[in-house]
């Protein structure tokens, strides 16, 4: 699965529907092959509002070298995603390679568990602010925060700014 125009979108049960589908469609519109990647617990995941997605690949079959970046949605999925060591290793590897790591809403939990926010400016849904601060992040209440290769946003309302920043970084090849 190697192609520099591929971008992974992580999914798990109870993902925030808009935070998966808006990025998937925007990435495809921009010419990227957006690949939905699950933890392997199921071939199909339902979002918080009932919209289902069939995954293209399990995280065990995807390496950081296969993609240009990753989008991590919020909802309740990040609580499950962060329990997968394969997901955390994938996110750490992307970050170490300077590839785009974009997280919205509760997805900051994945960044904190992957230990990649120390000293980085980020934002998130306000309920996980303390988790990010305790992980060493410099938290700010803004619609989108870009720090190097990291792109973070707060809520579905921020999706336009989030994807604009994410697509800009992808086009630049990373950070």
| From 37, 105, 137, 167, the catalytic residue | 105
Asked whether 11 and 4 are in contact (CB, 8 A), the reply is no
According to CATH, the topology of domain 6-172 is Rossmann fold (3.40.50)
**Model pLDDT, residue 31:** 96
Residue 25 tokens read as: 């469609």
60 among known catalytic residues: no
| From 68, 106, 120, 154, the catalytic residue | 106
Mean pLDDT of 66-75: 97
pLDDT digits (tens, 9 = 90+) for 73-123: 999 999 999 999 999 999 999 999 999 999 999 999 999 999 999 999 999
Residue 2 pLDDT more than 60?
no
Domain residue ranges of the chain, discontinuous segments joined by +: 6-172
Q: What percent of the chain has pLDDT over 70?
A: 97
**Model pLDDT, residue 58:** 97
Nearest partner of 147 among 93, 100, 92, 78, judged by Cα = 100
pTM, two decimal places: 0.96
**Model pLDDT, residue 173:** 82
73 among known catalytic residues: no
Q: What share of the chain is helix, strand, coil (3-state, %, to 5)?
A: 40, 25, 35
Alpha carbons 47 and 24: distance in angstroms, whole number: 14
Alpha carbons 131 and 133: distance in angstroms, whole number: 6
pLDDT digits (tens, 9 = 90+) for 34-65: 999 999 999 999 999 999 999 999 999 999 99
How far from 49 is each of 18, 52, 64, 100, CA to CA, in Å?
A: 9, 9, 30, 27
């Amino acid at each position: 699965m190697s192609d520099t125009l591929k971008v992974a979108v992580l999914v798990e049960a109870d993902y925030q529907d808009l935070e998966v589908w808006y990025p998937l469609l925007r990435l495809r519109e921009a010419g990227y092959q957006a690949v939905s990647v699950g933890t392997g617990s199921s071939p199909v995941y339902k979002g918080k509002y009932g919209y289902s997605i069939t995954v293209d690949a399990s995280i065990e079959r995807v390496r950081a070298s296969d993609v240009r970046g990753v989008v991590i949605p919020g909802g309740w999925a990040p609580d499950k995603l962060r329990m997968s060591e394969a997901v955390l290793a994938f996110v750490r590897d992307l970050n170490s390679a300077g590839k785009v790591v974009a997280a919205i809403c509760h997805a900051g939990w994945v960044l904190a568990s992957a230990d990649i926010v120390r000293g980085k400016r980020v934002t998130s849904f306000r309920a996980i602010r303390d988790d990010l601060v305790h992980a060493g992040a410099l938290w700010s209440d803004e619609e989108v925060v870009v720090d190097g290769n990291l792109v973070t946003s707060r809520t579905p309302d921020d999706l336009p700014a989030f994807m604009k920043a994410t697509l800009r970084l992808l086009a630049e090849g990373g950070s």
